[in-house]
């Protein structure tokens, strides 16, 4: 609540108005100076924030360019995607192959004889079901000795290694239906073929009675019927007429660096598999790098611009940190890449040059020529220990790291802003002291004038009372 004062009552002078005007005149220059400094500091902080954001974005965009594999992309194309698809890794060699899908890999499936229904009882004991090198032990007792009970026990087992079971209801050929239990491996090929060994409570594990009805050991005890024959579980393809047999429908070890994914078997039909260098992918990688760099250049130019017509200036015009960033980035782009074991040592050798505006541009013809000369050498220009991407990342990190230049600069400016707050508090205290002095001085003047006025009135009264005084009319 503002203090209530009576200054000026005695003299009739507007002392409050005088004090306010004097205080405004005293406070304004210092307050304006502090405000201007704060505005400048905040603008610098904003500009540095924009610069940091643009640099971080560019650093993220070149992260993959430090990895040589980003440039050594191979492309595998199938001549018939309905038969097979393909992909290529770094070790793939350019070439063309004729592929015939003879047979797709299948999971091994075993089926019981027909029973009257899913509740038909099989027997009790234990079943050890193996697929490949893994196995599952199922205890069969009075609680689960039916087709459905055994199926549920297999499917719900926590240590199930890849085995499923289901009850199917099919025609019996006589106008009725029977129920059969089908046990399947979830993985394909002979490497994952099924085997079921029973320990039948009736004491005979091979008579096909009781639980031994579920026994199956290929070539020995075969009390179950194979839906997919053991001899037909593996996939088979022909590569240039040579047979390749595998347990999977994804074959990654027949052609080095190439994975062939089988879609459909069609004996006698060939399709071409072409493996080549992914020129389009490398073009996209180079274009992405150039566009990201140019975007950073645009941001830096906006922050340091000076428009002579409008008089507008960028918030970091003349800023030493921004100049340092620009200088080091240009150096990283233009310097020779030494010791990279690449035939290319500078970006302009692969068609990337710098314009007068400081941006990068691509000469597509020259880039394509560089790909023809040495496709993999382009990647080494960027991703070697002294490569362009490595150097740029090092420059960016020196500014962006938690102990880097930008954080140090930001902390310094924030410290200056904090000191302005201290100066404002000091200014407030000084103004309070000055206002108190002004009030004391004007108060003394007001009191003196009041006394003089009182004395003057008294003297005038005394003079009027003296004899012989003639009053004017």
**pTM of the predicted protein model:** 0.64
Q: Quick one: pLDDT band at residue 131, thresholds 50, 70, 90?
A: very high
Starting at the edge strand found earlier in the chain, the sheet holding 216-217 runs 134-140, 125-131, 194-200, 216-217, 221-222
Average pLDDT over residues 449-461: 72
Lowest-pLDDT choice from 33-42, 176-185, 464-473: 464-473
pLDDT at 151: 97
Whether residue 471 has pLDDT greater than 70: no
Tens of pLDDT, residue by residue over 340-386, are 667 899 999 999 999 999 999 999 999 999 999 998 899 999 998 88
pLDDT value, residue 10: 52
pLDDT at 308 over 80: no
Banded model confidence at residue 4, pLDDT cuts 50, 70, 90: very low
Average the pLDDT over 17-33 and give the result.
77
The least confident of 221-230, 301-310, 393-402 is 301-310
* Helices 279-303 and 320-334, axial angle in degrees (round to 10): 160
User: What is the DSSP code string of 191-208?
Assistant: GG-EEEEEEETTS-SSSS
Residue positions counted in the chain: 473
89, pLDDT greater than 70: yes
Handedness of CA 410, 411, 413, 417 (dihedral sign): positive
Neighbours of 363 (CB within 10 A): 14
Give the mean model confidence (pLDDT) for residues 27-39: 74
């Amino acid at each position: 609540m503002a203090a209530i004062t009576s200054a000026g009552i005695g003299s009739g002078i507007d002392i409050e108005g005088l004090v306010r005007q004097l205080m405004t005149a005293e406070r304004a220059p210092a307050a304006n100076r502090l405000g201007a400094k704060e505005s400048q500091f905040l603008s610098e902080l904003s500009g540095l924030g924009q610069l940091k954001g643009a640099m971080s974005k560019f650093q993220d965009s070149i992260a993959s360019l430090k990895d040589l594999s980003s440039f050594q992309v191979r492309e595998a194309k199938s001549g018939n995607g309905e038969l097979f698809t393909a992909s290529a890794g770094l070790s793939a060699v350019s070439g063309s192959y004729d592929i015939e899908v003879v047979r797709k890999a299948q999971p091994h499936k075993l089926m019981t004889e027909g029973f009257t229904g899913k509740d038909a009882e099989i027997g009790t004991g234990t079943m050890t079901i193996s697929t490949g090198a893994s196995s599952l032990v199922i205890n069969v007792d009075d609680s689960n000795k039916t087709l459905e009970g055994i199926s549920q026990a297999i499917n719900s087992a926590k240590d199930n290694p890849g085995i499923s079971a289901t009850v199917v209801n099919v025609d019996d050929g006589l106008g009725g239906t029977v129920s059969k239990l089908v046990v399947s491996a979830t993985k394909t090929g002979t490497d994952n073929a099924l085997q079921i060994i029973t320990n039948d409570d009736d004491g005979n594990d091979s008579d096909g009675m009781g639980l031994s009805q579920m026994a199956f050991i290929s070539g020995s005890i075969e009390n179950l019927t194979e839906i997919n024959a053991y001899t037909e579980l593996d996939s088979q393809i022909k590569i240039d007429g040579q047979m390749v047999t595998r347990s999977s429908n994804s074959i990654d070890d027949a052609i080095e660096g190439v994975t062939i994914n089988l879609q459909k078997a069609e004996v006698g039909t060939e399709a071409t598999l072409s493996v080549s260098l992914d020129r389009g992918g490398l073009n996209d990688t180079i274009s992405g790098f150039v566009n990201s760099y140019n975007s950073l250049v645009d941001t830096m130019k906006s922050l340091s611009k000076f428009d002579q017509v409008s008089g507008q200036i960028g918030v970091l015009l003349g800023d030493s940190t921004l100049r340092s960033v620009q200088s080091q980035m240009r150096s990283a782009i233009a310097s020779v890449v030494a010791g990279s074991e690449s035939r290319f040592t500078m970006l302009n050798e692969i068609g990337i040059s710098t314009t007068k505006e400081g941006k990068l541009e691509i000469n597509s013809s020259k880039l394509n020529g560089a790909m023809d000369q040495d496709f993999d050498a382009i990647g080494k220009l960027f991703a070697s220990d002294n490569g362009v991407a490595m150097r740029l990342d090092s420059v960016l990190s020196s500014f962006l790291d938690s102990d880097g230049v930008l954080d140090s600069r930001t902390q310094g400016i924030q410290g200056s802003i904090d000191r302005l707050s201290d100066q404002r508090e000091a200014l407030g205290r000084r103004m309070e002291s000055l206002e108190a002095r002004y009030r004391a001085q004007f108060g003394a003047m007001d009191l003196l004038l009041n006394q003089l006025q009182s004395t003057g009135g008294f003297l005038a009264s005394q003079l009027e009372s003296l004899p012989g005084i003639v009053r004017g009319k």
